[in-house]
């Protein structure tokens, strides 16, 4: 295989720049990841609240349906 100097320099430059920029970009990447986790936590918390609201609604509907069954006159036909 033939040694290609421009390809070698390009690869070396890419590796060196990654090392140099990585040290400076780390705080930015940490902030981006932190913001992402905060967003996911907020969405999960809101979803849990909405799920609880839905469960409360379903429990209230179930209780109302059972209460109506108990208070229905005995001679009335069930649907």
- The Cα–Cα gap between 31 and 39 comes to 12
Domain boundaries, the chain: 27-69
Q: Is the per-residue pLDDT at 69 higher than 90?
A: no
Q: pLDDT confidence of 17, banded at 50, 70, 90?
A: confident
**Per-residue pLDDT reduced to its tens digit, 30-49:** 999 999 999 999 999 999 99
The structure tokens 């140099």 sit at 20
- What pLDDT score does 64 carry? 93
Regarding predicted confidence, which is higher, 46 or 28?
Answer: 46
Nearest to 46 by CA among 54, 36, 34, 58: 54
């Amino acid at each position: 295989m033939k040694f290609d100097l421009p390809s070698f320099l390009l690869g070396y430059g890419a590796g060196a720049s990654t090392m140099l920029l990585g040290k400076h970009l780390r705080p930015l990447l940490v902030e981006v990841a932190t913001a992402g986790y905060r967003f996911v936590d907020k969405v999960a918390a809101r979803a849990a609240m909405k799920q609880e609201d839905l469960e409360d609604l379903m429990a209230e509907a179930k209780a109302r349906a059972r209460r109506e069954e108990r208070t229905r006159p005995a001679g009335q036909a069930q649907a």
